[in-house]
Amino acid sequence: MARRSFIKMHGLGNDFVVIDARAKPLALAAEAVRALADRNTGIGCDQVIAIEPAPNGKADAFMRIFNADGGEVAACGNGTRCVASLLMAEQGADRVAIETASGLIQARAAGPGEVAVDMGEARLGWDEIPLSREADTLHLPLGAGPFEDAVGVNMGNPHAVFFVADAEAAPLEEFGPRLETDPLFPERANIGAAHLEARDRIRLRVWERGVGLTRACGTGACAALVAAVRRELTGRSARVRLDGGDLGVAWRDDGHVVMTGPAATSFEGSFEEDWLR
C-alpha cells in the first residue's frame, strides 16, 4: 500500500499539513483536502500545503495552498514562513524564493526560529480586492451587527478589516460567515476585527474564508497594518497581536509588505494514499 509522508507545522497556532510533492506529484481533490483537514477523522489543520516544483525555474519551489473546506487559495503568510523554513533547512541557505498563485515571494531567516517574508505589494483598488462593483476601499459599503466601515486590502487574499472597540469581544463567530460571503466579494473575503493597543501595536482576530476563526492569519496581519496606515492610525510598522502570538509587519515605501514571525514543526507522519480516494 503506497504511503505519503507529511509534516505537521504551524505559525502561531495557524496549522498546516505540508506535503512534499516535488518528486512524486499529488492531485488533491476538495474531498481529499477536507479529509486531511478534519480534526476528528483526519490529521487536522487549517490549510493543506503541497510543495511542488517551481514551474519557471525562478524559484526554489511552488507552494499550492488549500483551505480546510477544500478550496484553493493564492496566499498564506504563516504557511509561507513554514515552507520557507523547510526549504532553507534543506538547502543550508538563509533565504529562498517561493512561487505562489499570487506571485513570487522572497523569504529569509530572521533569527532563531524566525522567518521574514516579503508578501509583495498591498493591492488597494476595488477591482484588485476584488469587489463585485466599484467602491471606495478605504470605506467599504459593508456591515453587519457591530461591524461597519471596513477597509479593503488584498495581500494575495481579499481582506476586509474592521476597526472595533475591542477585537477580543467582537462577535466574529456570529457575523464572520455572513460578512465572508457578502455579495460584495465575488471570491469571498477574510474578515478581520482590530483595535489599536498603541501607536505601534494592533490587536487582531481573523475569520478566514473557508476555515473560520484561526489562531493567527499572516495575510490578515499584513492587511490590518496596511488598513491602519491608510486610516492614519499607526506608522508604517507595528506589532500585530493575534490569538497565537505576535507578528512584526512593515509596509515599506516601495509598497511591499514584510511580515516576520516564527515557524514550527509539530510532528511528522504518513498516510495511505488510497485513504484519500
Catalytic residue among 45, 82, 217, 222: 217
The CA radius of gyration of the chain, in Å to the nearest whole number, is: 18
Query: Could you give the CA distance from residue 70 to residue 47 in angstroms, rounded to a whole number?
Result: 9
Angle between helices 77-91 and 218-230 (to 10 degrees): 120
Query: Could you give the CA distance from residue 112 to residue 115 in angstroms, rounded to a whole number?
Result: 9
Q: Is 76 designated active site? A: yes
Residue keyed to cell 483598488: 125
DSSP string, 176-217: HHHHHT-TT-TT--EEEEEEEEETTEEEEEEEETTTEEES--
Q: Is 222 designated active site? A: no
Q: Which residues pair with 5 in a beta bridge?
A: 270
Catalytic residue among 45, 76, 82, 222: 76
Q: Catalytic residue positions?
A: 76, 217
